[in-house]
Structure 1
């Protein structure tokens, strides 16, 4: 834990630099810890004091399991049983390793919500070229425009040794997700009694440096391109969202368009940002709730609180099993706990507080970011009265055959209404994630939306 202490001492000094327009990268001496005392992406390589969090030894190999004809992965830990289960009755015993949101969920659903805790496995790694880019970023990438953009950045993980909360959040925003992917996923917004209807999406997601014909000598302000087509139900089918996600969204705001299949019209969509409504989400998530958190960070002040050990969803292969039906996972109030898996891991805690004069339905966000993947895994959302309102939880897995850490499903629980949203389930779809999806910039133009929206 000495490494963590040194990092946080350095971070406290760096917080005072947030008012400046450019923030320095770390020194070569600090960066030399990557791959030695730290993993190549900046996590602590060593085990924790009692060994309940193991040392990182390189993650799962590409052949850690089998891949079926649809691309679904077998569970490398299918034979394991829970070490213990956290319930409302014994939660006090584990409260120092639970988030306020998890404790609130146990209190809200004392008879049904629980956390089955398994042996911890540090499964994640990244392709060699991404790790090389991370090493470069450590001594070159800087925050610019008051922290709302990046300068001299490559690929992913701009700040593997974060000096402040904003840098840690940029690691989540830009983290590696395979470079490009096409996926078929579902979204449900169950009523308190458990009834729900599914919305089906086809997503296409490509980082700009993975486009066909990309010219590295002409970098743009676009971080990635995202296109989302609704394929069902019939009343929504054919509607398409297109996003050009910019690195500096204050200097050049996110560009978004919507194609309405009923009207056969393409329109600019400036509402697809901040607390604008999420697609077909029945008011249960904002635009910046997607991917746990996304978009411009300029409306909040970000504080790096420190590191801690938490029980978080991890290695959620069971939930992704194609033999399991959605009805077995989606239950009243929350996901079926028997389909979940929690492990003890180290996380960075970052608190976002709404700036004076800015507007957002969330006055505060308390974020917990996994040290091995830079993925936000738990986020507590507070309303303007300071009350805990919504609890976001991401059930992740490591797509070992492609060396991509990502989510199995995202959930957002509304403690006030008793409803929730789950996005990303694909068990019953005809294929799993298609990494390495090939696309050109012309596939992500407003003119291409009409063709994408054909029913």
Structure 2
């Protein structure tokens, strides 16, 4: 899938910004993209120790074979180099996050991190690289990061970030494609028992929709529709979301269709720390996709770049050979199927602004430099105690040139429970990318039809 010509007035805008002296990046900095930096802003070189390799272009679309039901083979099969456990984690602490340390201490007998050779597999289409270089330095933060301006329908707004808010916006504006997918969510009890919640989901982006007026949709980031398919008591309920780039100027719009009442209603609670759909209170709305929605309730501090063992190349966790029972275990997912690698990440610390509220008083994100995906997230309560630990197990869909999550987990250290979402091992097919939905499919009027049982 290729970009429509969507950056409004790119050439004229760039010249205007340069002329007025408000260019966020110098021409010398922009020239680093594709040279000393990867085309989206990561350090191209490996680390001094040789434990993180040089980025040489990532995986090709033909890196692995196609399997049953649209699944793909694991292109980096190997054995772990070592395993971090509660008994030896202190030897590796410089490459661990507080959340990972807390998991070893909370589950000393079962939580493990098998560490593999690092592979920098992420690659994007050539037109994405072209767009990033063409638009670098144009986007600007609104009110210190509450929104962004001068950036309609592109990807990676700030490839050379200068602030924590810019890193967060890179995650929010990362390159994505229209997608249809079925997946499962589970919230295992303390004893490990669980009930699966099944979803059918569609996401679409204005630049990839044939009937969207891009000028009118200049502030629109994405359209999202989610239908609950199981269990029967929830089946038929539908959520519709329109997300914006500046949610202070134009807040997120959300609607829900309740199948029992057969009514469509506005849903302002589907934002910030409102409870996630059918999550038993185990995640907030903005925990979805590790972080989504408006960032305006936080001050974002750029802590810096670190080398951390992160969940990466998690192809095993999306294998069609696994059942959900193989993955979901007491306390945490099965470490026999996880994979950790040493990668460079940006750490960003968000603290709730004065006068604002959120159940997470602080959240620290660890953002993969090669994809701008948040891969680890530590969430603190109002007392300053580490409360929930999030893991986004990154797997690069090489055939689509699109990184994403094989599974997302959020561990509640106090309750001894967790939520796992995004699993599709047992579904009828792997996610289908590159769809071309009509805008009519993402209107409140369409919800009733979507929710018919």
**Which one of the candidate residues 284, 291, 294 is aligned to 1:293?**
291
How much has 1:144 moved relative to structure 2?
2.2
**Which one of the candidate residues 121, 124, 127 is aligned to 1:126?**
124
Give the equivalent residue in structure 1 for 2:8.
none
Give the equivalent residue in structure 1 for 2:173.
174
Change (3 A) 1:217 1:299: closer
**Which one of the candidate residues 371, 374, 377 is aligned to 1:373?**
371
Give the equivalent residue in structure 1 for 2:5.
none
Q: 2:322 aligns to what SS in structure 1?
A: coil
**Which one of the candidate residues 271, 274, 279 is aligned to 1:273?**
271
Where do residues 250-261 of structure 1 align in structure 2 (5 Å cutoff)?
250-261=248-259
- For residues 57 and 439 of structure 2, the distance between their equivalents in structure 1, rounded to whole angstroms, comes to 35
Q: Deviations over 1:151-180 (max 9, x none)?
A: 222421000000000000000011112x20
- Provide structure 1 residue ranges, at least 5 long, that are not aligned to the other structure: 1-21
CA contact (8 A) 1:137 1:152 kept: no
The more displaced of 49-58 and 124-133 is 124-133
Query: TM-score, normalization: structure 1?
Result: 0.93
Q: Deviations over 1:87-125 (max 9, x none)?
A: 000000000100000000000000000000000000001
Give the equivalent residue in structure 1 for 2:340.
342
Residue 41 (1) aligns with residue 54 (2): no
How much has 1:132 moved relative to structure 2?
1.4
- For residues 359 and 105 of structure 1, the distance between their equivalents in structure 2, rounded to whole angstroms, comes to 27
Give the equivalent residue in structure 2 for 1:408.
406
Q: Deviations over 1:181-237 (max 9, x none)?
A: 001111000001000000000110011111122344544211100000001110000
CA contact (8 A) 1:137 1:157 kept: no
Residue 233 (1) aligns with residue 237 (2): no
- For residues 217 and 200 of structure 2, the distance between their equivalents in structure 1, rounded to whole angstroms, comes to 28
Give the equivalent residue in structure 2 for 1:19.
none
How much has 1:29 moved relative to structure 2?
1.3
Q: RMSD in angstroms over aligned alpha carbons?
A: 1.2
Q: 1:136 aligns to what SS in structure 2?
A: helix
Change (3 A) 1:363 1:23: farther
How much has 1:23 moved relative to structure 2?
7.2
- For residues 194 and 217 of structure 2, the distance between their equivalents in structure 1, rounded to whole angstroms, comes to 44
Where do residues 144-159 of structure 1 align in structure 2 (5 Å cutoff)?
144-153=142-151, 154-159=153-158
Where do residues 290-329 of structure 1 align in structure 2 (5 Å cutoff)?
290-329=288-327
Give the equivalent residue in structure 2 for 1:161.
160
Query: TM-score, normalization: structure 2?
Result: 0.94
The more displaced of 208-217 and 185-194 is 208-217
CA contact (8 A) 2:238 2:450 kept: yes
- For residues 372 and 382 of structure 1, the distance between their equivalents in structure 2, rounded to whole angstroms, comes to 27
CA contact (8 A) 2:149 2:246 kept: no
How much has 1:24 moved relative to structure 2?
4.4
- For residues 342 and 200 of structure 2, the distance between their equivalents in structure 1, rounded to whole angstroms, comes to 33
- For residues 134 and 214 of structure 2, the distance between their equivalents in structure 1, rounded to whole angstroms, comes to 15
- What is the count of residue pairs matched by the alignment? 432
Residue 68 (1) aligns with residue 67 (2): yes
